[in-house]
Structure 1
């Protein structure tokens, strides 16, 4: 009992609850809340900003066109009245009146009067400050407005290398004949600047909105996160075994408050359950020890009674011992003969099976040898094909050398052409462009050829490795064929030995059957003598057997109580983790 108790105490010391700390994975709740709220907001703001900026640009562009159309209509009436009053002289005389065309300069609006397709009076000036009078309108404007008499509007129209939003109206005389055009335009850069300012104001507005909402969501997320974090820390304390930790959580969120109450209830219930388990486990351990001691005493008493009964029955058993010994020995001899006979039959069957298996194995080895030869033939074919591939790669390298040589010659020709174009001056400029293109093409050809050469060399290296691998496979298959041939020879020798063993086993089987017949006759006479002695000892054996059963039952009870005590200790160890 003392040994068992020490073993239990040592095992109890070794058993300690192990907790596996979980590593934090994934995003925190604060980040998830911010992502879930701010990401849709930012995406929506970006889409709305894009739509508003696009609509604003379209609106600004349309307002510019409307403004130019109205201004040009007024300017066209002014030009028509002046032309009817004075004719071409009104716009071609030396002291022209620029007051009207320059009146909208502060508003970045330009005016021009065309006589025919030529600018006669304009507010447009070049970089030197001179008015660009005497220049022509574009072919599209001439065709659409001057010839067909249509109202023409456009954007990004180049005038003196500057982009304009333009509006053209036909200029007519008193008879309604088209004698020219009136132009009203605004520089594209002015419109773009206004559109950019509008877009920037829209973007800044949406950025401010996103910033305000982000701050608001940050505050809300913190208010949601704080109670949940406190609950998580409290649960960690409970998981570590501390059931006495004080749980203090304050939150204005109903769900968090409900979770807090539920956790406090769980803590209270765990405290009650663990306390009850400890109390009952201690009581059960005491009762188990008392029962174990009583069972041990009863087992020892039963063993002493069994020893006494054995002493009483020893005299009766000695009377039949000689007969029983002879009977047992004869039975053992008979069993041995029977076993030998059975073993010989088994050996005969096994020998025949081994003979059949040997034949099957020889047949399978022939099939393997045939497959190995086919594999050798296939590897040889692969080896030859790889060598042909190496030859083809060598031809590719020769073709690459030819391409590089042609590219070098082309580059030299391009250089000579550039020199000749430089000598030719302005007349050879287009030829110089062609020479540069040829030179670039030559350099690209050189680079492509170098790339192809690298790829071809890499293929050649891989192909050589494949050749080496094929040769190693050939050597391995040859070694395999040699091993298979040697194994076939061993199977042939084994088949002859098995046939010889079958013949010898058959002779032994015949002799064993004769011995078995003699054994049966002897056993019949000995059984008659043994029956008398067995009747005398049967009563004592029954009593002894009953005592042994009682002893075995008590031993089982002791073992069962030991297991119960171990379970009680395990249960106490399990709850010792909690405070």
Structure 2
């Protein structure tokens, strides 16, 4: 068996061991649950048996130590009936002597009945029952009576004292038989499966190893350059697919190598041609280099002319520097003017605010004057009313005079007239009071008008000061502008000189440029040609070297493979 077969065998054995372990664990869990249910059932049976036993009667039997009493018979009968109704094999009562050794009191079996006083071995479950707990044995016990598990429950008399325990035995022989058979089956099945797995793995691995060895032999021959050996495997699986792909690769590689062999001969011929061309290009480039040397000598003459141009440019730069200083000075004056303008703008804003306050004050005066006119109109109305009252008073007084001249009953009319005169007098008094109130309001309005007028006067004074400040700021601006004008004139003069120098520079440059352009044009053409020739020659040489190297490599590769 090869390495592949051993790996397959290990994998299958590991899978089998894991599977059988899971199965055994599941069965153990199931059997333990079944055994636990049996333990609970036998414990419940013992606990239920307590209800059919009269504790006081059992205490009398224990004290009498006789099996011939009526109480013994009754208790035994109750236990026999209970056993027939339950799925248990034995039912009995046990008592503990002074040495803590349990012995038989009443046996619930009619056949092979245990005698009173027969001693038993003390178990943990019995001790727990004597302490007042319902208990059962942890494991099954096999003896002459069979394979049993026991459950125990305490028996109490009417006063609540534990006098004995009741024991119930259940037969679990079938359970233990099934468990042992399962163990035997698992052992036998495991042995058979190991043998079967080993045989299957050997057969399967031998088959795989045979196909793999065929592939390995062909690949070894291909690694030595022999591509003429075909690979044919018929296994109807992935190994057959691998063999087909390897065979396809062999055929394609063989075809490519044949084409490479044909192309390599053509490359060799082309390489020789390129070598000849490169030699011609090298010769031409030497001729062009000689021409460039001649042009270089002519350009030195142009360099002397450029020196003169440089001197003129230096003077031109000094004048530009002077102009820049003047412009910097003008910029300082401009900043001062800008600050003054901003300040004047703020002054104008204050002026606008004062004008707005002045307008509001005049509107207030107009409103108060209008209110004064309204009150004056009311005074006129009251005055007219007083005049009417005066007229009526005169008439009434005339009537009173006439009536007073009469005698007798006519005196009553005089009284009426007198009352009317009194009423008119009261109305006149009320009107006078109203007139006084109106005059007080008029006085208050006059005070307000006086205060508003003072406010207007103050605002006008302040406005005059603002205007004066504004005029001073503009005078300062005008002064700075007057200082700037001579400098601007000086800048214009310098600019005219710079312009003349510029013309001189341009003339020199044009003269130098005209001659240099011709040289430059020729130089550019020659340089371009030289660069192209150099690049071409370099590329040709490089291509030749690469082709030679590639050709050599191709020949080596082709010689490495066996094509026919």
* TM tier, smaller: 0.3 to 0.5
TM-score, scaled relative to structure 2 = 0.40
Structure whose alpha-carbon radius of gyration is higher: 2
TM-score, scaled relative to structure 1 = 0.39
